[in-house]
Amino acid sequence: MKLDRREFLRLAGMGAVAGSLATAGFAAPEGGGEDKMAFELPDLPYAYDALEPYYDEQTVRLHHDKHHAAYVAGLNGAVEQAERMLKSGDFGHAKAVAKATAFHGSGHMLHSIFWTNMKPGGGGEPTGELAEAISKQFGSFGSFKKLFLATTNAVEGSGWGILAFCPTTHMLAVLQAEKHENLAVWGLMPILALDVWEHACYLKYQNKRTEWTKAFMDHLVNWDEVARRLKEAKS
Ligand code: MN3
């Protein structure tokens, strides 16, 4: 079974983070042999230095080419291990494989969203349907921004601030993820993800996480892409 980036993101958008990936990771390996699933590192939608001075080139290079790439490799490794278990009938590593699938799969998914959530000359405020949904849910864009920053800044250790959409109730929710996969709410779809692992900002912002998250919201966030994800999630 092949699952290219588009298909992965579609799946990622259609269900809970860990749920979709568990499904993807443990789908029956039809045919076996050559026909194995391989996740790929998506290209950045801009040059490495395009987000300067708010997101420095060196961090973007390391973050994308090394850190995100490691999650892609880890996810592919977990899928291969799952296939080996199914072939051998020895399920002794089932727990480790499930954990690796959730960690690396969620890491791959959230980074894939994160890169598209930024653009040169970003920031400002959303418009249209997204702006209406945010006002309806949080009272105003200003209130949402305060809540999103407070939530993201308060992540314990390594993790993410996330704006997610619930396809059942059509509500928006501001969430945290610890690591990549903990504190997820099953069924909610992330449409905005802000990385606050140290690797995401330490070279430029050191321990000043609040400066990184403020720079992201004021100068980098790509509301058009968040709006596109909301629209896609609704359809
Ligand atoms: Mn990261």
More confident position, 17 or 109: 109
pLDDT digit string (tens) for 28-37? 334 445 555 6
What domains sit in the chain, N to C, each tagged with a CATH number? Answer: 5-116 (1.10.287.990), 128-234 (3.55.40.20)
Q: How far is the CA of 139 from the centre of ligand 1 (A)?
A: 30
Q: How far is the CA of 86 from the centre of ligand 1 (A)?
A: 31
**pLDDT confidence bin for 193, thresholds 50/70/90:** very high
Q: What is the pLDDT of residue 37?
A: 61
Query: Which residues place a Cβ less than 5 A from the ion ligand 1?
Result: 195, 197, 200
pLDDT digit string (tens) for 104-132? 999 999 999 999 999 999 999 999 999 99
Whole-model pTM?
0.86
Inter-residue contact 188 to 165 (CB < 8 Å): yes
Q: How far is the CA of 67 from the centre of ligand 1 (A)?
A: 6
Please name which of 112, 115, 121 lies closest in space to residue 220, comparing C-alpha atoms: 121
Distance CA 97, CA 217 (A): 36
